[in-house]
Chains A and B, each alone.
Chain A
Amino acid sequence: MTGPLIEFRDVGKRFDRLTVLDRFCFTVQQGEKVSLIGPSGSGKSTVLRILMTLEPFQEGTLTLGGISYHQPHGRGPFKASERHLREVRRNVGMVFQSFNLFPHMTALRNIVEAPMAVLGLGREEAESRALELLRLVGLLDKKDHFPAQLSGGQQQRVAIARAMAMRPRVLLFDEPTSALDPELVGEVLGVIRMLAHEHDLTMLLVTHEMRFAREISDRVCFFDSGQIVEQGSPDRIFAEPAHPRTRAFLKSVLAESRTA
């Protein structure tokens, strides 16, 4: 396939009267690992949530894996059919800040649920794939545990395995370690790092872990007020940020991590 895997073209997003994205443009190539950084409220989560079809948008066009959907400028709220949205979702998976595992299912059940229900896999195949993923995230021995019996870090690793079980082309991470105790952050980052080695997997990561973003990304985008103010290779963004707001942000984050 040629052309970008993800393309936001002039996307406008409002919550009632609050405009969060205005003529937002953003493209991601297949296999790219992109980190989104920026101050709170700058629209990072909104971009991921629009990609995951959790939020409608009002203007512009979004193309994802060759499937477009759009809303002509200035006309009513965006509406796509459920069928269309489900087509879009086939390409995307998401890992949430709060894990959102299904509490009434074991780790294994959490992972096999969607492959069986959506991809139509048989139980045996779904389970063997799930067990392989659990092994990959280091939780094979926890397969029969309920989420409440797992630590935050373990829950997030199961959530990552669950998202991967759907074989998405794009995996979205919205602050995957922000809800974790500091000593549990490392094990989750370890799993994400491992996924970052997968050549074809496209990753979008919203994070406050600057060092990690620098380490795994091909590109870092700095968001402010619903705009990508500056983007580029991690080394350039972190070492020599061009925009004053990027500099100010990185400075404040750095100061924060020093006091923490």
Chain B
Amino acid sequence: MIYGYAWDTSSPLAYAVSILPILAIGLVVTLKAAVSGFVVALVLGLIWYLLRRTRIRAVAWSTALLVEFIRDTPLLVQLFFLYYVLPDYGVVLPALVTGVLALGLQYSAYTAEVYRGGFGAVPRGQWEAAIALNLSRYRIYRDIVIPQAVPRIMPAMGNYAVSMLKETPVLSVVTVLDMLNLANMIGDRTFEYLIPLSLVGVIFPIMTTLCSVGIHLLERILPRDGIALR
């Protein structure tokens, strides 16, 4: 029994049905981790991108170095580092928060690159025309640059969102009770791993497909008239 739900191993179907509520609780954790992780990645990536293009060379350089370092170290190493090393320095975070930070950090290296591509694809001439019209910096970003950059950014960001969702089971190694971790626990107690793990294996593609569809719908809704997307 986990979370008050008992399993019924009388038949494979009964077994599957009986553990679904437990997996559903894990699924919520998985989704929480993926969504918050992605928000962290979006925000951090934007910060990296902006820092990298400041005129202060030292800042731009060290940011570039840091991002490269984040990109080149495995997620698992970052995760262990945050989970086991930070407490030594008095920073004790819940496992889920640690996991979200690690996921967000790793993916921020990728999103920074996407921002660079998207904003970089807005031609200099657009900036110059906007300045010549005396638009404020805020207006230039809001009305000219962001509307042209976002449709270019969306597809790549969508891919990273899906792939981050698929990577969340990694968090189970630092005791986050996500779907995979719960499936494992069920197996540990029933000595029957096939069904719980298969269910997890089926739920993930369903989730990622839904996620992809959602992103495509979003891309459809976004105005992009006149913007050449290659």
Contacts and interface: CB of A to CB of B under 8 A. Distances in A.
Contacts of B143: 102, 113, 117
A89 interface: yes
B124 to A, nearest CB: 9
B132 A102 contact: no
B135 A118 contact: yes
Given A54-B131, A96-B125, A104 B223 contact: yes
A104 B133 contact: no
B125 A89 contact: no
A117 B126 CA distance: 16
A46 B207 CA distance: 55
B132 A104 contact: no
Give chain B's interface residue range (CB within 8 Å of chain A): 20 to 34
B145 to A, nearest CB: 10
Interface residues of A, number: 30
B225 to A, nearest CB: 6
Majority secondary structure, B binding face: helix
Contact of A114 (B123, B133, B147, B224): B133
A139 to B, nearest CB: 16
A118 B133 contact: yes
Interface string B171-204: 0000000000000000000000000000000000
Interface string A144-165: 0011110000000001001100
A54 B132 contact: yes
A169 to B, nearest CB: 13
Contacts of B131: 52-54, 89
B134 A90 contact: yes
A55 B135 CA distance: 17
Nearest to B144: A102
Interface in A36-91: 52-54, 82, 86, 89-90
Interface string B145-180: 001100000000000000000000000000000000
Given A89-B131, A163-B132, A104 B148 contact: yes
B133 A100 contact: no
Interface in A107-152: 113-114, 117-118, 146-149
Nearest to B133: A114
Given A96-B128, A98-B125, A117-B143, A104 B226 contact: yes
A140 B11 CA distance: 75
B227 interface: yes
A139 B175 CA distance: 66
Nearest to A94: B132
Nearest to A90: B134
A100 B144 CA distance: 11
Given A52-B131, A92-B132, A104 B147 contact: yes
A93 B131 CA distance: 9
B59 interface: no
A103 interface: yes
A100 B125 contact: yes
Contacts of A102: 126, 129-130, 143-144, 148
A21 interface: no
Contact of B227 (A86, A101, A103, A162): A103
A103 B137 contact: no
Given A90-B134, A163-B132, 20 more contacts: A52-B132, A82-B137, A86-B136, A94-B132, A100-B126, A102-B126, A102-B129, A102-B143, A103-B226, A104-B226, A104-B227, A105-B226, A113-B133, A113-B135, A113-B143, A117-B139, A118-B133, A146-B226, A149-B226, A163-B133
Interface of A: 52-54, 82, 86, 89-90, 92-94, 96, 98, 100-105, 113-114, 117-118, 146-149, 159, 162-163, 166
Interface of B: 123, 125-126, 128-137, 139, 143-144, 147-148, 223-228
27 contacts: A52-B131, A52-B132, A53-B131, A54-B128, A54-B132, A86-B136, A94-B132, A96-B129, A102-B129, A103-B148, A103-B226, A103-B227, A104-B147, A104-B148, A104-B227, A114-B133, A114-B134, A117-B136, A118-B134, A118-B135, A118-B139, A146-B225, A147-B226, A148-B226, A149-B226, A159-B129, A163-B133
